[in-house]
Structure 1
Amino acid sequence: MGPHLRRLAARTGHRPSAYARRTLANLRIDTWRKHRNEVLVGTDEFFSGTIASAAQHHAERDALVRALLQLTERRRRVVVLRYLLDLSEREVADDLNISVGTVKSTASRGLDQLRALLGEQAPHRQPAPMTARDRNEPQRVVHRGPADHG
């Protein structure tokens, strides 16, 4: 640690590592902001579009809730945690005690089913069929021994 940082730490009681970490984080955020690909619009342009009425908003929300209720419990939980509560795949996996791969596949199937139920079917894509895992049915477990190498 250089003498300047030692004096700063002694004078303020702060740790230099925290200062350095915050500085690096700020520099990284500045880089993201500089290179972002989104186009910011002014408030006049933003509000000039059509604004959905409150009744339309409630009708869309009601349709979404009804569609979510038609999903299996597991698909519904994954979709709600992942997309409505904005948790990461790892956080959803930890919360539901399942693997990240299961979160990905269940979320994909759940979104496909929601699209079909809401009439927003993606082109050239059929809803994924339900699996035993999605229905929370017992699964066949295959135990494999060590591979013979000889």
Structure 2
Amino acid sequence: MTEIDFTGLYSAHRLPLVRLVVLLVDDIGTAEDVVQEAFTALHQNRHRLRDPDAALAYLRATAVNNARSVLRKRQTARRHLRLARVENAAPADSELLLAAAHQQVLAAVRQLPPRQREVLALRYWANLSEAEIAQALSISRGAVKSNASRGMDKLETILGDAR
């Protein structure tokens, strides 16, 4: 059995995974934590991985699932603590991350349902194929196609209204 090159995997894919997850959780610090937890899970479960070439797919799926968990925990905390927070408020460092034109698109993406947002982030931000997205989200390729289509239609509507 071939060993996983954790150093190479971490060096090559940590930052792209953080960029992907920040689109899902809207917070760089949380995104970094989510990705770190994915790498930790991979290391802890490395003996269960039959094919070392599947390590990146495992990391993506784990990162997306961890991001979902973070979002569920946030929702629960908000519901129970009744936090008064403007949902569409931009993170304090968003201007450093994106140009003004990109902020409008990101704001529109945040309005999408979670599954459409995940599919579009994996497709257009992480440049994954339909099969890779289906694997990462544990859904069918048909579901990937329909969520991508619906998400793009909704983005077109939202961005068309904003102009």
TM over 0.5, shorter chain: no
Which one has the largest radius of gyration?
Answer: 1
Larger RCO (CA within 8 A; separation ≥ 6): 2
Instruction: Normalising by structure 1, report the TM-score.
Output: 0.41
Q: Given the two structures, how large is their TM-score scaled by the length of structure 2?
A: 0.38
- The structure carrying a bigger helix percent of its residues is 2
